[in-house]
Structure formats: C-alpha cells, structure tokens
Amino acid sequence: MSDFLNARLPDGRRVTIQIENGQFSGFSEALPGSVTAPDARDLGDLLVLPALVDSHVHLDKTFLGLPWRPHRSGPSVKERITAERDGRADLDLSVEARARVMLDQALSHGTTALRCHVDIDPDSKLDHLSQVMDARDAFSGRIDVQLVAFPQSGLCSAPGVHDLMDAALSDGAEIVGGIDPIGIDGDLDGHLDAIFGLAEKHGAGIDIHLHDPGHRGALELRDIAARTLASGLGGRVMVSHAFALSTVDDQTLDLTLTDLAEAGVAIMTAVPGAVPMLPVARIREAGVVVCAGSDNVRDAWSPFGNADMLERAMLVAYRCGFRTDEGLAIALDLATEAAAQAIGLGMWGLEIGAPADFIAVDAETVAEAVVNRPPRGYVVKGGLVVAGTLA
Amino acid sequence: MSDFLNARLPDGRRVTIQIENGQFSGFSEALPGSVTAPDARDLGDLLVLPALVDSHVHLDKTFLGLPWRPHRSGPSVKERITAERDGRADLDLSVEARARVMLDQALSHGTTALRCHVDIDPDSKLDHLSQVMDARDAFSGRIDVQLVAFPQSGLCSAPGVHDLMDAALSDGAEIVGGIDPIGIDGDLDGHLDAIFGLAEKHGAGIDIHLHDPGHRGALELRDIAARTLASGLGGRVMVSHAFALSTVDDQTLDLTLTDLAEAGVAIMTAVPGAVPMLPVARIREAGVVVCAGSDNVRDAWSPFGNADMLERAMLVAYRCGFRTDEGLAIALDLATEAAAQAIGLGMWGLEIGAPADFIAVDAETVAEAVVNRPPRGYVVKGGLVVAGTLA
C-alpha cells in the first residue's frame, strides 16, 4: 500500500490516492489528521491525469541519440521505405541504444504503455526485434511495451518475410502488423489472408498501416472489417493512419465507419500536419474507437516528433478545431483511455481497480494541461514514481 | 561595446559576437587569448539565432494572468466578436495587467519585437489603447511594440469608430487596422476609402484582418493591392490571415499573388490548425513577403497559444510539410527576418549593422531548434541580456 496525498482530480476534488498491489484502491477526500501510509508522497495539489498511452511508435527507426541528420527522403511512402533502408548502414548507434533513448524520453513525458511496430524485412530479418526486446526489458516496470511484427517493406511482395513474421510471432512479437495490402503489397487478398492467418495461428491481434487514400483505402477498410467480424477478432484489430477516412465522400465514410464499428476495428491517427486530419468527432460518434500515436520520432520518415503524447493531444485538438473544455478532454482521451482500449490494455485511467499509472502536472484543468503541456512533475507506474521533474 | 564569447552561428562557425551601440559590429572567429571586453559573457557554444518577431498579437484580448476560462464562443468570426465583447465585464484583471503577463511570456520565449492590434470599438473607445501603451512603456528596451488601431467590431458599420481610429492614430497608434471590408463592414469601397484615408492623413502603414474566404477574399486582396500601388504605400501594407489564398483556384491564386507582389503587400498567417494552411512556399516563390504571428493567446477567440514564436515556426513547418533543413529554416524565417521585413523593422538578423537582438539555445542546428523548440537560454536585445533560462 502506498498513498499520494494532496492530489487534485480532473473533477476538482482534492483527494488522497490509495494504491494496493499496483492498482488504484481509493480516492478519498482528504481528511485532516487521517492516517496515511508512512511512505506517502505529497503531490502538492498538482493535477492528476491518467498516464499517457502511445498507441503507435517505431523504436527501431528513431535517430534519437545520434547527431542531427537532415531529412533526405522524397515524400511518398515508397520513397521513404527505400531511403530508410538505404540509410541504415550510416547509423552509428545500435537499434537497442536508440530505442532506449526514445523510451527514456517517452517515460519523461508520462507515457507508461506503448505499442511499437518493429521492422521485419529481408535485410534486418529478426535483428530489430531482438534489439527492441532488449530495450523493452531494460524498461520493465516503467513502460509496458507491446511489439508488432511489422512488414515495412511488404509481406507477400518481399521474399521470406512471411516466414520471418511467423518466427517473430514465436519469438515474442505479440501483434501481427500489415501495410497497404494494395498500395505496397499489390495483393489485397494475399496480404489479408497472410496476416489474418498469422493472427489465428499465434492467437495474436492485428495492426495494419493503411496509407492508401480514397476509395481504394475505404475498400481495404471494409474488407478488414469483414474479416475481423468473420474471425471473431473484434476489439483486437487496429488500422493505423487510415487516410481514406479523410479523403472519401460522406456516404462512403458513413458506410465504412458503420462497418468498422460493427466489427470492433479501432483507428489510430498520428495527427498529420500537412494532409487532411481524420474526422475524429465523427469517428467517435459512429462508435469507432480512435486513438493517437507519435508514429515517427526524428527518423528517416520525419524530423518531427518528441514522444510527448500530451503534445500529441494538443495537436489533435488544434487540427480538429476542438476549443471547448469538452473537446480538449476528448483530445486527451485519444492519448489515454481510448488509446488503452484500442491496444487492449484493459482498464485504464483514474478508477478503482485500474493500474495505478498516472501523471501529476501543474495545471488548473484538463483543458489547460492539453493546451499548455506543462512538465510532468511526477510519472507514476503501478503506484511507483518512475520519472518526473519533481521526482 | 560588449562581447558574447563562444557563440555558434547557424552556419556552424564559432565566433565572438561584438556589439556597439546596440548593433552587431562583428562576428569574429574566436582566437585563443584574444582581447575581449571586460564584461564579455560566455554563451558556452549555444546556437545563436535572430531574436523572434511576432507580427500579430492582441495584447488586450489575452486571459493570461486570469484563472482558466473555458471557451464559450461559436466558431464564426461574428460569433466570436460578440462573445468577446459580452465577456469583457467578467475579466477581473485590467487590460494593462494581462498585456504585461503576455509581454513577459513573449519575452521569455525570445520575442523582442511585436505588432499588436488593439481593439477600437464603441464600447472600449480608446481605453484599451491607453492601457496597452502603458504596458508597452513598462517593457521599453526589452520588447519593441508596434500598435495597430484595430476596428474589431467594424469601421463604417460601427458608430463613431472612424473618429476613434483617427484619435487613436493621433494618440500613439502607428498603424491603421482594418477588418473584412465585405464580410464584417459590408462596404468594400467605404472601408478601404476610410483606412487608406487615415493612413494618408497620419503617414501610417496598414494591417487588415481578412477572414473572407474564396473569391470574395481574393477580390478584396486585389483591391487592397491596387490601392497600395496607387497610394505609394508598398512595403507598408500587410494583410493578416488572408484565408482566401488557401481557398481559391490556382489561376486566381496566381493572379492575386502577382498583384500582391507588385504592390508590396505582405501576408501574415497565424498558422491555423483546422482550416487549410496558406501555401507558404508558393507565396514566397511569387515574391510576396509572408510571416507568422501568434494571433490569439488564450483569449475569447481561442484557448490555444503561448506567444512562443519558435513553436509557431514549428507549426508552420508541420502544416506546410517542410521536412528538410532548408524547409525548417524557411519556417524560422517567417518568425524572424521575414516578420521583421513585413512589419517594417528594417535590418534584422545576425548581420553587422542590424540591432543586436538574438537568442541562444541548446540545439545542434537551426532545423533542430525548430523541431525541438528548446528553452531560450539567453534573450538579448540591443546587446543586453533581457531574459533567458540561463540569464
């Protein structure tokens, strides 16, 4: 049992946070002179928020830890895949070392759980996976890391990748990744047969990078929804990016969202800046779980990114035009509870029985925390302080 | 004379910055044992960048200094004008006090010059102006503040505002403001006659808020360009927002940009998140000066904003898809040299003869400074350290 005194909850209550076995066991309104645990920590009236969840990162891609590298790739997905693979040999720091720098940065910003896609391709084979697993183990108890075996260079179209994915899922990857069945692999049925087959074989969930826009992307989304429904994988399938949802007509959007909601397929947005933003409010209204992720953090794909999910929540609100307190709270939800739900973490947030993962920040309200993104005073995982500027 | 030792310039040179009479007088490659001024300050190899210029703020609108206020207005310009005026009576802190908090925040982020629009309307008359002038005077020598007499509630359509504007320009406002001649004032010729007339009378420049989109806005832009050319005011007229430039067809865009370039009319963008971003690269290629501004900083118009122009530069790059080092440098230019040019500051930047206004930050390169937005270690104005986390 451990207590945190003088916590301010999003609803304004001043409470003592009680924790047992790493879970919240109570939020009691502070009583002067009441008995608290001897090791109780005083949060000094800071605002407490659920710990942040990053639903989409690439720990093996980041340049963090290296000197600044100017961006060199052209803008298309294929150009970036090629530029990234061509540039790997120049990186003077191991995948594991760079992944550790990024995990440390994510933790300092209050992220205590994340989903990481790891490249599985004919060059790197299972090497990135084993290095990211070592980095993950080094952060055990501080950040929970889910690993996706991700066929960045294609699955059907890249020799040997199917077998490598199979091996990755035996070796410790927990989720089957996919990428543009039509746009990259050029084989809608072949790609989806492969990843749903691997998911069934390994009892794994699925997370598909879908950049394909417009009606091609919508067709893929509806096919993914149908296969999810047929395979009973509802609640365990996510589509990342899903740019199609911001580039189709209204009627197609409605039909697609209806299918995704019925099937239990979640959507992840990395909150792009220079292409249309997903219609987040409408996706939520349709009953589809939508969450945010960092995606690229200073890598061959983008020089931007800092693994700060509170900043990502700000960008959600900025891009969606959310200005009210309710809208700003929705933006934060995409980086906390909705993200936890989308990646299957179970209970998350400031509730009795949920993991005692939270952050404490100097902000008056949730809305102010989202617009201001104050330093994380305390980052707490399972009831233990694991980071923070005041820790 | 004062020196700053161990400065790293954007081109990578390590230099001693020499300053005389508040201006840069030399950037000499450091020689061990060379003689420096006795009060020389060591910048410790920090990266030096031009001080930031905020080309568009509303010091009289901000809620900074007050408890958090949830956003209440509807989304249209007219709804926000009304909501703001209705809510003024609830603000428990004077215009001057709030303006001071914002100036302090802007300075801490490295802004040493800004242009501020001050509401001139039938309710507030010249009260905001006199209070903002008092705040400006309190920051004399730290931030240069240009004042625009801004008819937020309309000019021709709001009783008495023309005379109030005239008085404001006699009392100390330096620039004639305007707002949507068609969309708000409902009288294109009347509005432009009035503001160009006031500009001529007072020898003042012009800065027009133009939210009107599409062809209506493009028509207004071309009319403003024609009047600028006819009145010889080229280089002293700016149009703020100019949403029309992101909402017209290519041919109209080209014609409009050609007119603006020929007339010497500059464009300001506040880098909106939820509407189309201005085509910054294309505007620059057409020879039109384009700069960025904070606009609303936590006020009745928007809960966002923090008066950090380095963050605004990041948002320019994010919204425009600028990823290369060259692109990220352009984004910074919109918040430094281009902004200085647009608001008529004369020389600006790291050049001999320019005002010795600069910031020093912990970043490897200009590009990294834009994506990371590190704390401003030193903020220097006219050769004097006026703010900074290391000051």
pLDDT digits (tens, 9 = 90+) for B294-347: 999 999 999 999 999 999 999 999 999 999 999 999 999 999 999 999 999 999
Contacts of A91-96 spanning 24+ positions with Cβ under 8 A: A91/A63, A91/A66, A92/A66, A93/A65, A93/A66, A94/A131, A95/A59, A95/A60, A95/A127, A95/A128, A95/A131, A95/A132, A95/A135, A96/A131, A96/A132, A96/A134, A96/A135
Please give the pLDDT value at position B1: 56
Best mutation target, B64, B66, B68, to test chain A (most A CBs within 10 A): B68
Question: How does pLDDT run across A83-105, given as a tens digit for each residue?
Answer: 999 899 889 999 999 999 999 99
CB-CB under 8 Å, A68 with B367 = yes
Tell me how many residue pairs between chain A and chain B have CB atoms under 8 A apart: 79
Contact B351/A at CB under 8 A: no
Contact B25/A at CB under 8 A: no
Question: Residue B75 above 90 pLDDT?
Answer: no
Measure CB to CB from residue B273 to each of A319, A325, A367 and give the nearest one.
Answer: A319
**Interfacial A residues in 66-85 facing B (CB < 8 Å):** 67-68, 70-72, 75
Question: Residue B31 above 80 pLDDT?
Answer: no
* Chain region(s) in chain B for CATH 2.30.40.10: 2-50+349-387
The CATH number assigned to the domain with range B2-50+349-387 reads 2.30.40.10
Give me the half-sphere count of Cα atoms (radius 13 Å) on the Cβ side of residue A246. 22
Mean pLDDT of B76-95: 91
Residue B9 tokens, joined: 């310039």
Residue B391 tokens, joined: 């000051």
The CATH number assigned to the domain with range A52-342 reads 3.20.20.140
**What stretches in chain A show pLDDT beneath 70?**
1, 30-37
- Using CB atoms within 10 A of its CB, is residue A262 exposed (0-12), middle (13-18) or buried (19+)? middle
What is the ipTM, given to two decimal places?
0.97
Please give the pLDDT value at position A2: 76
Task: Kindly provide the b/e burial profile for residues A162-195, where b requires at least 16 CB atoms within 10 angstroms of the residue's own CB.
Answer: bebbbebbeeebbbbbbbbbbbbbebbeebbebb
* Chain region(s) in chain A for CATH 3.20.20.140: 52-342
Beta strands in chain A (DSSP E): 2-8, 14-20, 23-29, 41-42, 47-50, 52-57, 111-119, 144-150, 175-179, 205-210, 237-241, 265-269, 290-292, 358-361, 376-381, 384-387
More confident residue, B195 or B29: B195
The CATH number assigned to the domain with range A2-50+350-387 reads 2.30.40.10
Cβ neighbours of B346 (radius 10 Å):
9
Percent of chain B with pLDDT over 90: 93
Using an 8 Å CB-CB cutoff, list chain B residues near A321: 75, 273-275
Measure CB to CB from residue B303 to each of A303, A305, A323 and give the nearest one.
Answer: A323
| All residues at 6 or more sequence positions from A193 whose CB lies less than 8 Å from its CB, including other chains | none
Mean pLDDT of B34-42: 75
DSSP A286: T
For residue B368, CA distances in Å to A54, A87, A98, A144, B326 come to: 23, 19, 17, 29, 12
Using an 8 Å CB-CB cutoff, list chain A residues near B306: 371-372
Contact A273/B at CB under 8 A: yes
Residue of A nearest to B366 (CA): A68
Cβ neighbours of B156 (radius 10 Å):
18
Please compute Rg for chain B using Cα positions: 21
pLDDT band per the 50, 70, 90 thresholds, residue B35? low
CB-CB under 8 Å, A315 with B68 = no
Determine the Cα–Cα distance for residues B286 and B261; give it in Å rounded to an integer.
7
Using an 8 Å CB-CB cutoff, list chain B residues near A323: 71, 302-304
- Which residues share a beta bridge with B239? B208, B267
Please give the pLDDT value at position A380: 98
Residue written as token pair 């910031």: B359
- Using CB atoms within 10 A of its CB, is residue A322 exposed (0-12), middle (13-18) or buried (19+)? buried
**What is the CA angle A95-A99-A104, rounded to 5?**
155
Determine the Cα–Cα distance for residues B108 and B336; give it in Å rounded to an integer.
16
Residue of B nearest to A279 (CA): B274
Strands B376-381 and B358-361 turn out to be antiparallel
Question: Residue B113 above 70 pLDDT?
Answer: yes
CB-CB under 8 Å, B274 with A319 = yes
Contact B371/A at CB under 8 A: yes
pLDDT band per the 50, 70, 90 thresholds, residue B89? confident
Look over chain B and give the mean of its residue pLDDT values, rounded to a whole number. Answer: 96
CB A23 within 8 A of CB A306: no
Residue of A nearest to B327 (CA): A71
* Chain region(s) in chain A for CATH 2.30.40.10: 2-50+350-387
Please give the pLDDT value at position A33: 61
Please give the pLDDT value at position B74: 87
Determine the Cα–Cα distance for residues B147 and B130; give it in Å rounded to an integer.
11
- Which residues share a beta bridge with A358? A50, A380
Determine the Cα–Cα distance for residues A80 and A93; give it in Å rounded to an integer.
20
Question: How does pLDDT run across A280-301, given as a tens digit for each residue?
Answer: 999 999 999 999 999 999 999 9
